[in-house]
Amino acid sequence: MKAFIFDLDGVIVSTDRYHYLAWKQTADGEGIYFDEKINDRLRGVSRMASLEIILERAKRQYSEEEKQALACKKNDLYRDLLRNLTPKDRLEGVTETLAALREKGYLLAIGSSSKNTPFILEKIGYGDYFDAVSDGNNITRGKPDPEVFLKAAEMLRLSPESCYVVEDAEAGIDAANAGGFFSVGVGPASRYEKTKKPLASFSLLREL
């Protein structure tokens, strides 16, 4: 194994609360019921796919133009909240573990469906830290499609079989497995039956 490809949200940093608040305000503005249980279904999926889940409870059909407008509204709200991020928002064990993996000679990459990935990385002090960043800006298909991870491996000039993918979401684990990667689950994904290597904490990556 030569590299680790990390999902961003929920693995390196948690912006779940910001996503929830932005989606909640967007849904409330349309009179659509939205709660944290529904929000859990959005974990690891793209913005437009998340919107489709929210619109399942809408009382009318939305045109593609209206959907795009709602997605943009949510993203504007979300980016405003992201301005509060600092390096202190890196999740527990991330800073030390990434440094240890790099010392061992592993390449490190990000594979995230979010188009806000560069902005988030910059805010938490990782703007130019990773060897490759594949995100929502260079893919056409979100997770569970493996495209984002396959492009990350391509940037690293490695085969999927030589890369670990670290995920906290079931959709991300499915994407990693579909692409031929070795899936590692932390957080909720550590309890997913399709995860190849469940870990109780991020820091345990050092023992792989």
Q: Tell me the CATH architecture of domain 3-13+89-207.
A: 3-Layer(aba) Sandwich (3.40)
What kind of fold does domain 16-82 have according to CATH? DNA polymerase; domain 1 (1.10.150)
Token code pair at residue 90 = 């890196």
Mean of pLDDT values over 146-169: 98
Annotated active-site residue 40? The verdict is no
Query: Which one of 9, 135, 145, 168 is the catalytic residue?
Result: 9
Tell me the average pLDDT of the chain: 96
| Segments making up each domain of the chain, as ranges | 3-13+89-207, 16-82
Q: Does 7 qualify as catalytic in the annotation?
A: yes
| Cβ 123 vs Cβ 164: under 8 Å | no
* pTM reported for the whole predicted model: 0.85
Q: Note whether 7 and 169 are within 8 A (CB).
A: yes
- Per-residue pLDDT reduced to its tens digit, 95-110: 999 999 999 999 999 9
Res 36: pLDDT: 94
- How many other CB atoms sit within 10 Å of the CB of residue 128? 8
